[in-house]
Structure 1
């Protein structure tokens, strides 16, 4: 028994070291964003954003009637209601991404009437659209809409993550993007 005691102690120490190694967070986790998850039925609030998805639709063309701009393609247009929960400092959707099957797409900055980069206010919500140009065959599966006031990569900041089932979304030939406007109570 005396001869096996050092071996048993050594094996126990190796096992404990393995458990401790697994329990220690990675270096990336010290700066990762704080994800606030929800679905399209939820109103989500982070440090600087309050978001509710109102509508989502696929379109073969998006247009901005006020500027005669339009573009054809496979577009996903997401209409959201957004406001600032506590302070207007830094309150804007500056980063809007859509992740589908590991591929990340950023909201297009081409339409002038996008909610992207629009300053948000406390107590009064704006309704506006985010348009994502996607590959032609991408209209199925589940997507994650990520919204943040920080670009390019949020470090130690809140990121709103909304799960969006693409299979059930309607499709239309054209969507006219409207300028962000005050939400009706």
Structure 2
């Protein structure tokens, strides 16, 4: 037994070290954003943003309401209802991405009437549109709309994640991306 004791202790130390390595988070995991997932029918609330997808549709062309700008392509236009949950300081969506599988698309900043950068209020919903220019082959599947109040994906902060099903969405020849508007419930 005396000869086996060092082997047993050595084996226990090696197993303990393996367990410690396996459960220790990576360097990137310790600074990642917290994903706050919502459902298709209800709003998700993070620290700085409350949001819900109201509607989505494809369009062959998008315009802005004064007719000064338009673009053709495979556009996904998502109508979002958003508000500030606690404070209006810095309350606006500055980064909106759509993740479909392993591909990520950023909301276009070209339509100046989109929800990007619109001021959000506490207790008052703002309804606005986000436009994503997608490749022609993207027209089905399930995506995640990720909304952030900062200009980059935050570290150690939250990201509101809302599901968007692209299957069976209506398609229009043209959609007018209207100015965000307040909505009282």
The TM-score, its normalising length taken from structure 2, stands at 0.95
Q: Number of paired residues?
A: 185
Q: Distance in 1 between matches of 2:108 and 2:6?
A: 64
- Give the superposition deviation at 1:5: 2.1
- Give the superposition deviation at 1:138: 0.4
Match of 1:120 in 2: 120
Kindly indicate whether the alpha-carbon contact (under 8 Å) linking 1:63 and 1:176 is maintained by their aligned counterparts in 2: yes
Q: Distance in 1 between matches of 2:17 and 2:52?
A: 45
Kindly indicate whether the alpha-carbon contact (under 8 Å) linking 1:54 and 1:81 is maintained by their aligned counterparts in 2: yes
Kindly indicate whether the alpha-carbon contact (under 8 Å) linking 1:39 and 1:164 is maintained by their aligned counterparts in 2: no
Consecutive unaligned residues of structure 1, counting only runs of 5 or more, are none
Match of 1:73 in 2: 73
For the aligned residues, what is the CA RMSD? Answer: 1.2
Match of 1:31 in 2: 31
Q: Distance in 1 between matches of 2:10 and 2:168?
A: 57
The CA deviation string for residues 10-56 of structure 1, in whole angstroms up to 9 with x for no partner, is 11111111111111111112211111012221211111111011001
Match of 2:43 in 1: 43
- Give the superposition deviation at 1:174: 1.2
Q: Distance in 2 between matches of 1:152 and 1:18?
A: 36
The TM-score, its normalising length taken from structure 1, stands at 0.95
Q: Distance in 1 between matches of 2:83 and 2:183?
A: 10
Q: Structure 1 segments of 4 or more deviating over 4 A?
A: none
Q: Classify the secondary structure of the residue corresponding to 2:47.
A: coil
Kindly indicate whether the alpha-carbon contact (under 8 Å) linking 2:124 and 2:184 is maintained by their aligned counterparts in 1: no
Match of 1:159 in 2: 159
Kindly indicate whether the alpha-carbon contact (under 8 Å) linking 1:32 and 1:154 is maintained by their aligned counterparts in 2: yes
